[in-house]
Amino acid sequence: MIAKITPLLRMPSNLDLFDYLVLDEMQGKIKIGQLVSIPWQNRKLPGVVLSLEENFPTCTQGGIKGGSFRIRPIDNIIDENPVLSNAQMKLIKTFSEYYFCTQGYVARLITPDKPKRKIRPQKTYDLGLRLHNFTISKSQLKDLNDSLVSLRGRLLPTLAIPSSTHCALDTGLPRRPEYRTPGNDMVIQDVSSFIWLILSLIKETKGQVLVMFPTIDLINAIASVVQKKCSDKLAVIHSELSMTQYWNQYQKILTGEGKIILSTRQGVFLPILDNSKIIFFESTSQDFKQYDQHPRYDARIAASWVSRITNSDLIFASSSESLLVRHPLGILGAGSERGYCRVKGYTKLSSACNIKTQTKLIDMKQEMSKKDFSIIADSVLDNIKKIIAQNKKVLIISLRQDADQGVSVNKIAEILTNQIKNCTISTKYDSNQSFDILVTTAYPLEALKLSSLKHKFGLAIFASIEPLLAIPDFRSGERAFNRLNFWKIMCAELQIEQIILQSYSPENSAIRAFAYGEVESFFKSELDHRKQLNYPPFGQLIKLSLSRHSEQGEAEVKNLVDNVRALLTRSFPTESASQDDASILGPFKDKKNQQSLLIKTSKDTDLKIMKSLPHGWTIDRDPENIL
- Express each pLDDT in 186-210 by its tens digit: 999 999 999 999 999 999 999 999 9
CATH (one of 2.40.50, 3.30.70, 3.30.300, 3.40.50) for 540-621 = 3.30.70
Give the lowest-confidence range in 168-182, 340-354, 365-379, 510-524.
168-182
Give the containing element (helix H, strand E) for 396: strand 393-397
Note the pTM of the prediction, 2 decimals.
0.90
Q: What is the mean pLDDT of the chain?
A: 85
Higher local confidence (pLDDT), 208 or 42: 208
Task: Single out the residue of 568, 564, 540, 567 nearest to residue 616, CA to CA.
Answer: 564
Domains of the chain: which residue ranges? 2-110, 138-348, 358-533, 540-621
Residue 165 pLDDT exceeds 50: no
Residue 157 pLDDT exceeds 70: no
285 C-beta neighbours (distance < 10 Å), count: 24
**Over pLDDT 90: what percentage of the chain?**
61
Rounded Cα–Cα distance for residues 328 and 351 (Å): 29
355 C-beta neighbours (distance < 10 Å), count: 13
**Over pLDDT 70: what percentage of the chain?**
85
Domain 138-348 is classified in which CATH homologous superfamily? Answer: P-loop containing nucleotide triphosphate hydrolases (3.40.50.300)
Tell me the mean pLDDT in the region 567-576. 66
> CA separation (Å) from 245 to 123, 220, 268, 590, 616?
12, 15, 18, 38, 34
Neighbouring residues of 388: CB distance < 8 A, sequence distance ≥ 6: 394, 420, 423, 436, 437
Strand order in the sheet with 18-21: 18-21, 2-7, 43-53, 35-40, 76-79
Tell me the mean pLDDT in the region 586-594. 87
Instruction: List helix spans (H) across 264-351.
Output: 299-310, 334-337
Tell me the mean pLDDT in the region 288-297. 91
| Polymer length in residues for the chain | 627
**pLDDT band for position 593 (cuts 50, 70, 90):** confident
Q: Check for a shared fold between 138-348 and 358-533.
A: yes
Q: What is 358-533's CATH number?
A: 3.40.50
Residue 95 pLDDT exceeds 70: yes
Residue 104 pLDDT exceeds 90: yes
Domain 2-110 is classified in which CATH homologous superfamily? Answer: PriA, 3(prime) DNA-binding domain (3.40.1440.60)
